[in-house]
Structure 1
Amino acid sequence: MVKTTIEIADDLARVAKEHAVRENITLRELFERGLRMAIRADRESVGFKLRDASVGGRGLQPEFRDADWSRIRAAIYEGRGG
């Protein structure tokens, strides 16, 4: 068994104490339960895979190859109030 000290937000500590009293458990039991749930959820989570939506081509049009983002954005919104 490891003894450690943690710092948590005052409001979270207050709510945790109230919850522990309501559930008739110790803060230690509550923290252990929460840690086990968080670790289990992380292990069981499925990673997100972004679909490849790239398009064929040779990159930016020649007039924008050396342009900064403000110039590209201005061209995108030209005549549209942006």
Structure 2
Amino acid sequence: MKTTFDLPEPLLRDVQALAKQRGTTSKSLVEQALRRLIEEQQGKTFSLPDLSVDGDGLRPEFKDASWETIRDAAYGSPGQ
């Protein structure tokens, strides 16, 4: 598929020089660079570190409690 990109002249000269140095074409060099960039981005998945702690979970009195009840027990009821 053919497409057109406008590149700054200094970048284009660098691409052409590197392609010549490697014995390849500018097209091939740009294609390789784009593939590497896409692969790099696809490999980056967001994950949180495991910060869990040992224990038996909530105390029995909070087992079926709402978040509001747990929060109020920890921080006090609103207005207090």
Same fold (TM > 0.5): yes
Q: Which runs of 5+ in 1 are unaligned?
A: 50-55, 58-82
The percent identity for this pair of structures is 24
* Cα distance in 2 between the residues matched to 1:10 and 1:45: 31
Cα root mean square deviation, aligned: 2.5
Give a deviation string over 1:22-71, Cα, whole Å, max 9, x none. 0000011001100100000000113375xxxxxx97xxxxxxxxxxxxxx
Q: In structure 2, what is the equivalent of residue 8 of structure 1?
A: 7
Q: In structure 2, what is the equivalent of residue 40 of structure 1?
A: 39
Q: Which amino acid aligns with 1:11?
A: P
**What secondary structure is seen at the aligned counterpart in 2 of 1:6?**
coil
Q: Which amino acid aligns with 1:47?
A: F
Q: Which amino acid aligns with 1:26?
A: T
Q: Which one has the largest radius of gyration? A: 2
1:60-79 alignment runs, 5 A limit: none
**What secondary structure is seen at the aligned counterpart in 2 of 1:25?**
coil
Q: Between Structure 1 and Structure 2, how many residues are aligned?
A: 54
Q: Which runs of 5+ in 2 are unaligned?
A: 49-73, 76-80
Consecutive aligned runs of 4 or more in structure 1 exceeding 6 Å deviation = none
Q: TM-score, with normalisation over the residues of structure 1?
A: 0.55
**What secondary structure is seen at the aligned counterpart in 1 of 2:45?**
coil
* Cα distance in 2 between the residues matched to 1:16 and 1:48: 35
Q: Which amino acid aligns with 1:44?
A: G
